[in-house]
Structure 1
Amino acid sequence: MSVIVFPLQSGFSALVLAPALKEASSVASMLPPASSPRLKYLSLGVLVFQTTSLVLTMRFSRKLQVEGPLYLASSAVVSAELLKILLCTLLVFKEHSFSVRALNRMMKEEILNKPMETLKLAIPSGIYTLQNNLLYVALSNLDAATYQVTYQLKILTTALFSVSMLGKNLGIYQWLSLLILMAGIALVQWPTESLGSPEQKVLSAGSQFVGVVAVLVACVSSGFAGVYFEKILKETKQSVWIRNIQLGLFGLVFGLFGVFVYDGERVQESGMFQGYNSLTCTVVALQALGGLVIAAVIKYADNILKGFATSLSIILSTLISYFWLQDFDPTSVFFLGAILVIAATFLYGYEPSSKPL
């Protein structure tokens, strides 16, 4: 099984799922070999913290009542892309012994002198930019627990695109896990009776629908763009860091275009960085640094620990949404669906010795 899926990266293509994992893999190769089981559990804790904190801080930042305008999601996407570019540039700079001349030569040779190779990144970059904005829409309309569980559908989309685009084979346990996953997510989205006035019910149903659609589109875009990006990396020998700089440059252009198309009037009124505070900066940093944060996990953890991380992240998100954010009312149907999703995550990471289908 060669498809690696984590609960949330936003992502982000500031670092979204696939680029984040590719960057993490590169960083992981620089880490010392595992010498103690303690490192595995430390990496487990790091992954749980990163995935849970990103979802919860993003959700909290979108629901927090603050004086003045709320920060623009499109602006946060651009900020994270910019931070990603700066970070990857620093890493390339370090790889070339902090030589400005070598850095300039590398950038010119790999980006400016290879326009067709660079243009290949326009497609996944545009999709990632769309996905990143959709994640903000989703967490503005869904509680963190429902979002966390539903977003696991990216396991299905990534697997299907890997089979169709890369010709990968999935074992019977992987196919079974995908069926269980779909059943679990269907139960999580099962309609339930809610208290309140008819107007509140209509508003809640409308918000839920918008949030679910945003998550579903993000899952499809995540699967396609991630596999497409993986295919590009396999076809060329370019540095992963250079590829992510290229990805980030296109993402910055697409992101700025989105800012001025959808939020142009608000930018003119209050500026592009309106509503920014320490919490907003934390969200941006978590998104942009996500791939580096989980590097230790890729180096030290196995599929079982990754499954544990996903499960713990869902459980923590549920508890915090209920007790702290108070925007989630769990039901028995939700818990059944969440259990199925967690089970599917473990099953997908299981690697039997039997031949693939």
Structure 2
Amino acid sequence: MALPPSHPSRLKYVSLGVLVLQTTTLVLTMRYSRTLKEDGPRYLASSAVVSAEMLKILTCFLLVFVENNYSLRAMNLLLKEEIVNKPVETMKLAVPAGIYTLQNNLLYVALSNLDAATYQVTYQLKILTTALFSVSMLGKKLGLYQWLSLLLLMAGVTLVQWPSESAGEQKVLTAGSQMVGVMAVLMACVSSGFAGVYFEKILKETKQSVWVRNIQLGLFSFVLGFLGMMVYDGRSVRQSGMFQGYSAITCTVVVLQAVGGLVIAVVIKYADNILKGFATSASIMVSTLISYFLLNDFKPTG
């Protein structure tokens, strides 16, 4: 049955709204989980990334199963045809998968060293990198007001990182970790911009289901994430297991991260990466207010 003409437009704005809510909740929850003082060991960021990919793959399998009228046979035929029988198309997803895996790990590093509000504002530089990659890779044309918006964004990022005289003792204590956090965010911005535009190019050049594409992407991300976890945290995993330090808040972070990956895919399919970036920016105000009033880890200056 054909979808009504308004369906893609409606889905675009619904997915953008869900993305704003998911981003705000994820940032605050992830920040809380990385700064929460517990008796046992803290959970491994690499393990959380792998767990989120596992959950995302399982969810996509379920959605493909539903799309194929709950027929296992039809789902198996579709996956074999689109994944196994098209190795070149499948391998194209290895590039964004590797970059997304790196980006997800960088975000944990950033949120372990920055307050939620500073992280959110600085991470919006990905709008600039996304715009630059969209112009160079997709041939998009940006108007004067769009470029002015990007310049204002850069000014905001510069101001939020400006040293504050009132930081005092806290600034001395956290200068090193803040630098690590900012560098991690900047690397994540570049990787996010390239991977997002690359993934958009793939999604819009094919009529393949967005969930099948996410299965392909997730499989590569899972393998690369698992290898990274064993390389960097292998000793901890062998000693205390992959799920060491997991709690209810950790599971919430994993679920939110998996949901975010699926929502972003829908937004990229029906909107574009630049619009996705500005929609994500709408969560800054909410994150800042909650970070200031509830978490008490952000003191705004002039």
- What TM-score results when the alignment is normalised by the length of structure 1? 0.75
**Distance change >3 Å, CA 85–CA 139, structure 1 → 2:** same
Distance, in Å, in 1 between the alignment partners of 2:92 and 2:50 is 20
Contact 2:56–2:261 (8 Å) recurs in 1: no
Distance, in Å, in 1 between the alignment partners of 2:40 and 2:120 is 29
| 2:206 aligns with one of 232, 236, 252 | 236
Asked if 1:323 corresponds to 2:296, the answer is no
Contact 1:50–1:286 (8 Å) recurs in 2: yes
Which range moved further: 224-233 or 250-259? 224-233
Match of 2:284 in 1: 314
Cα deviations by residue, 1:288-319 (Å, 9 ceiling, x for unpaired)? 112556869x989xx99x968734x2222222
Unaligned runs of 5+ in 1: 1-26, 35-39, 333-357
**Distance change >3 Å, CA 214–CA 30, structure 1 → 2:** farther
Q: Which amino acid aligns with 1:130?
A: L
Q: CA deviation at 1:326?
A: 1.8
Q: CA deviation at 1:113?
A: 1.2
Q: Which amino acid aligns with 1:260?
A: M
Contact 1:28–1:299 (8 Å) recurs in 2: no
Distance, in Å, in 2 between the alignment partners of 1:92 and 1:47 is 21
**In structure 2, the residue corresponding to 1:329 is in which secondary structure?**
coil
Cα deviations by residue, 1:246-285 (Å, 9 ceiling, x for unpaired)? 0000000000011001101111111000011110111111
Distance, in Å, in 1 between the alignment partners of 2:263 and 2:58 is 16
Match of 2:142 in 1: 170
Distance, in Å, in 2 between the alignment partners of 1:308 and 1:227 is 16
Distance, in Å, in 2 between the alignment partners of 1:318 and 1:228 is 31
Distance, in Å, in 2 between the alignment partners of 1:71 and 1:223 is 28
**Distance change >3 Å, CA 292–CA 240, structure 1 → 2:** closer
Match of 1:3 in 2: none
Contact 1:93–1:99 (8 Å) recurs in 2: yes
**In structure 2, the residue corresponding to 1:190 is in which secondary structure?**
coil
Match of 1:91 in 2: 63
Contact 1:31–1:299 (8 Å) recurs in 2: no
Match of 1:15 in 2: none
RMSD: 2.9
Q: Percent identity?
A: 72
> How many residue pairs align between the two structures?
293
- Identify the structure with the greater helix proportion: 2
Match of 1:195 in 2: 168
Contact 2:214–2:262 (8 Å) recurs in 1: no
Alignment of 1:262-341 (within 5 A): 262-290=232-260, 310-311=281-282, 313-332=283-302
**In structure 2, the residue corresponding to 1:282 is in which secondary structure?**
helix
Contact 1:77–1:129 (8 Å) recurs in 2: yes
Unaligned runs of 5+ in 2: none
**In structure 2, the residue corresponding to 1:69 is in which secondary structure?**
coil
